[in-house]
Amino acid sequence: MRHIRTNAFNPVSPEQADFLQDIIISIDDELIVAIKSFSAHQGAWEDYRDCIVTPGFIDLHVHLSQYRIRGIYYPALLPWLEHTVFPEEAKSRNPDFARHISEDFYRALWRNGTTYSVIYTAPYREAAEMAFIMAQEMGVQARIGMTLMDMNSPDGMQQSTDYALRNSIELNELYQNQMLGYIFTPRFAPTCSEILMREIGTYAKRNRSFIQTHLSENPDEIRWVKELFGKSSYTQVYQDVGLLSPRTILGHAIHLSDAELALLKDSASAIAHCPDSNFYLKSGEYPLSRIAQQGIAFGLGSDVGAGTTLNMLYHAKQMNYRQSKHPVLPAEMLYRITRANAMILGLDHRIGGLKEGLQADLNIFQVPSGFDIEEHSLSQLCFMSEDFQLKEVLVKGKNKLPAY
């Protein structure tokens, strides 16, 4: 049992983060068993009074197999995929390569305070399976998918429809745990046949499985989808094949008509907003106000490798900076990388907050020397995270912060 004397911010809603000053967080094994005022505590305690605690961060959209190509620049989505992403993902067919990159990636997640993530791998069973094996070995919490692409893909990467379906269904049956489980991962409509998407949609609906894909990121991509499928919109393609559901997470969703927003709302699909990536590739500005007004669920993803870092506080800052008119407040910045993502994953009863009974997935940040610890500390953490040193990253109560 640990009793940590500290200060904390608990995300409640986009408008509210509760500031908990001079408290004791009691942890027994994997769980938070009590959070109370220090004055009500008796007995021993550990001194973290110069720190602030947040829930562990959740990354709603990240490509493990692209971890090492961050920062290799191409100024548009489709050329970047062709020249940078595909040659790199091809390496993950080799299980040794896949093992090493998985291990590096998971350590880097913890170094940045991310304690749960929703992961794309590469179009090979070996890549996804190794990501699961290493996650199990290391105690990583995630949903992981084998990226699916059965058309318009380079030689050596294009899967047969049968390979894509059979292996993803088998992996889904092998990995059912919600803290380490499968997610069906068609890359995006331009590389997925209608039959593949329809089969995935039907299977996922029957089995209540999670699905992730990309939607309306870039104007050239949207034109391509129009040519390929001839539907009224990109979102309509996914709707018609049955990929939209309350367990579907759509990356980006930037260029959307009102009719498309209605499809997302009616299907209760969620969006993974990836602001760093959106401006790296000059894809466009996320229509945050329109999406929030519709009540469509959304959270934040790093989208590494188009995103340049796994640091979710950096992405929270980018969410603010990449809105030209709408100021995103610190309470919302914290909420979108914790509780909002937990709710989308159906895991808010376990992670994403600081409450008795939740898992002890916590980040302990050292506040810069001489700084006050007050309500405004959350704002400073969000806007200048590089000055707050991570002292511990707890996953189910165990410190996972690599020792270097």
CA dihedral 229→235→239→243, nearest 10 degrees, is 100
Binders of Zn ion in range 250-289 (CB under 5 A): 251
According to CB under 5 A, which residues from 285 to 344 bind Zn ion?
Answer: 303
Q: Name the strand (E) or helix (H) holding 272.
A: strand 270-273
Nearest to 315 by CA among 92, 37, 57: 57
**For the CA atoms of 233, 237, 238, 242, what is the dihedral angle to 10 degrees?**
130
Query: Could you tell me the smallest distance in angstroms from the CB atom of residue 40 to Zn ion?
Result: 46
173 Cβ contact list (under 8 Å, min separation 6): none
To Zn ion, the closest distance from the beta carbon of 214 in angstroms equals 6
- Report the nearest approach of Zn ion to the CB of residue 280 (Å): 11
Q: What is the nearest approach in angstroms of Zn ion to the Cβ of residue 137?
A: 26
Q: Which is nearer to Zn ion, 83 or 355 (CB)?
A: 83
Closer by beta carbon to Zn ion, 281 or else 364: 281
Structure tokens at 402: 């690599």
Instruction: Tell me how far, at minimum, the Cβ of 396 lies from Zn ion, in Å.
Output: 28
What tokens appear for 110 in the block? 């913890």
Nearer to Zn ion by Cβ, of 102 and 363: the residue is: 102
Nearer to Zn ion, 55 or 307 (CB): 307
- Classify 272 in phi/psi space as left (phi over 0), alpha (psi -120 to 50) or beta: beta
| Residue with the two structure tokens 């059979």 | 166
Given the complex with Zn ion, which of 62 and 296 has the nearer CB atom?
62
CB nearer to Zn ion: pick between 199 and 276: 276
Compute the residue count for the chain: 404
How many chain residues bind Zn ion (CB under 5 A)?
Answer: 2
Are 213 and 225 in contact by the 8 Å Cβ rule? The answer is: no
Min dist CB 301 to Zn ion, Å, is 7
Q: Site residues for Zn ion, window 232-251 (CB under 5 A)?
A: 251
Interface contacts to Zn ion, rule CB under 5 A: 251, 303
